[in-house]
Every structure is written in structure tokens, then in C-alpha cells.
Amino acid sequence: MNQPTDLRFTAAHLVSELGGRLDGSPETQIRRFASLQRATRDEASFLAHPRYQTQLASTKAGLVVLKDASVARQLGLTCTLIETLDPYLYFARAATLMQRHLRMASVSATQIASSAVVHPSAVIGRRVRIADQVVIGADCVVGDDSDIGAGCVLERNVEIGAGAYLHPRVTIYPDVRIGSRIVIHSGAVIGSDGFGFAPQSDKAWMKIPQVGGVTIGDDVEIGANTTIDRGTREDTVIGNGVKLDNQIQIAHNVKIGDHTAIAACVGVAGSAVIGAHCQIGGAAGILGHLSIADGTIVGPMSLVMSSLDLADKYVGVFPLQTQAQWEKSAATVRRLPQLRQQLRSLLGSKGTPSDRATED
């Protein structure tokens, strides 16, 4: 899956595709983005925070994206500039645009490695790259301009939209529907059985067949070694634009709303419903059969034990509260020794009988 590195982009092309105000030569050509410190004349960079302004004065970049071109000119910078309200977002969009063009330049027709196994009933789109030792099962569909990395397995009846990128060793179980422009990192498993077992009279466990599937929307990213279990009867659902970090467990029947972001090592138990535009911090735990309101933020290592119906920022392992309430509680806890001493002074130097019992 190597890509050509000599493709160049003009400043005029970037502005025509992404907007911004051009200050300098529209013919300036760049091949990629780099840091202000390391960029060379055929590379672009960006200034997103004033703390890096000292690096701006000495950069050798051929093009710089920034908020205020006059600042760069006052520092003596002579390179081409693109002025925009959000340089960091502009960089992200520009880098994505360049990556897409590089991919298009490198793949003119579908390429299937000789060691790959593709079932005759599978439908493979145009300009798809299928790497070594990939297995694609019966009735699968892979959309145009997709990359399937080495050792990936797509079992029966998997559907993947256009522009997908599966890194090596992704495993997708049967009956999974995935939208366009997905990115799935190595070791991820999509559609494995949910953890469903019924207790029996002899205290042994009876497995409950997991006959649902998984439905994933467009523009989703799934991190390395993340697992999304299939539903028990209906699908587990991941909305459009959801971003899942590495080593996350999404249990059966979970529903995650559009554009929610979940950091590494979070565990989401079965049938939880997480709203849209939420942010879940690393190593948080979310119990099953509860709901979280749209726009909610859950801090790292927090344990959500009941539904959060009001969008706010919640932090802390015990107790889980809004951030404002938790900060007050933490301040009170720090003052407990002092408050205890004041209380003992009010009650007398010997303290109460309960104090003496504790000290004994």
C-alpha cells in the first residue's frame, strides 16, 4: 500500500478547495505538512497557538497557515501564507485532501494480492487494494477506493462503504454493515458475540445466541484492539462520525450517537445508550441498560452507574457528580482533619464517645 511521495499541491489549489485568504504566490508548491521547526521550502506548516510564534520567525516552510498574516510579515517572513480563522482545522482538512489525492494517484484499478482469498460472490468496488492474506467471505461488499490491509478477515455478508481503510489484521464477523470513509486499526474485532448467558438451576451458564449484527455509520474511526460486540437480537449501533480510541469494549446492544468520542480503555456494558456529541474520558466505565444525554462529558476513570439525563461534565470515581459539585466535595474532603479538630474543640478536649472508640 505504498503511495507516491512526489505529488505536489499549489497554494491556489488548497485555497480553491478549502477557502482561506491567500497572501503570496498562488504557484507555491508543497508536498506535505511538517512542523514549523523542520519544514522545508517544499513543505507547509501552520501556527495554531501563540506559544509557537518564535518558531514562526525562523521557519523555512514554503507555506504557512495562520490566523493573522500581518504577524508573520512583521517578523520578516516572506513565504506564502494562507489566513484562516482556525489554522489547526485547516491543517487537518488540507492533510486529508492531500492524502486523498495521493491515494487516487497511486491506485488506478483494483489490486488484489495473489495470496488473498476472495469469495466469487463478493462484490469488490473500483480502485480497491486488497493486501496479502486477506480473506473476504461470501456475499461481502467492499466499496470503491477502499484499502484492506494484510491479514484482514471479512466473514460472510459484510458490507463496507467507499473510501474505507482497514489496517492489517482487522477481523469483521458476519452480518456487519459499515458506512463510508471508515478507518479501523489493527487488531480490532467487529461483530464478536456479546457476553450473554442465562443462569440455570445448577448454577451453570447457558449461552444465549447472539443473532443481531453491528451497524456502523459514515466517517467512523475505530482504534487498535477495540472490540464491538454484535447485538443479541437487534444490531449494536455506532453512529456517524463516532471516534473510538484503542482497547475499548463496546458490549452487545449498545447504541452510540453521532460524533461521540471515546478515549482508550473505556468499557461500555450491554444495552447502554450514549447520546450524540458526548466525550468519554479514558478508562471510564459505563454500566449497562442506562442512557447518557447528548453532549455529556464523562471524565477519565469515572464510573457511570445510573443514567445521566442532564448534559454536563461529570468526573470522579466516587461519587460521580457534576464537575462543579465534585470540586466542592474534594475541597471538603481535604479539610476534614481540620474540621474534625474544630468539632472536637467545640465538644471538649476528650471528644465524644464515638471519637474515643475510633481512637482505641
State the cell numbers at 196.
450473554
Where residue 293 falls (left for φ over 0; alpha for ψ -120 to 50; beta otherwise) is: beta
- 350 CB-near residues (< 8 Å, 6+ apart): 356
> What distance in Å separates the CA atoms of residue 261 and residue 239, rounded to the nearest whole number?
11
CA distance 229 to 143: 23
Name the residue among 173, 211, 168, 209 with its Cα closest to residue 192: 173
Q: Please tell me what DSSP assigns to residue 230.
A: P
C-alpha to C-alpha distances, 34 to 44, 63, 87, 104, 319, nearest whole angstrom:
6, 10, 14, 22, 44
Catalytic positions, written as ranges: 252
Task: Report DSSP state, residue 50.
Answer: G
> Do residues 173 and 154 lie in contact, with contact meaning Cβ atoms separated by under 8 Å?
no
CA distance 203 to 50: 63
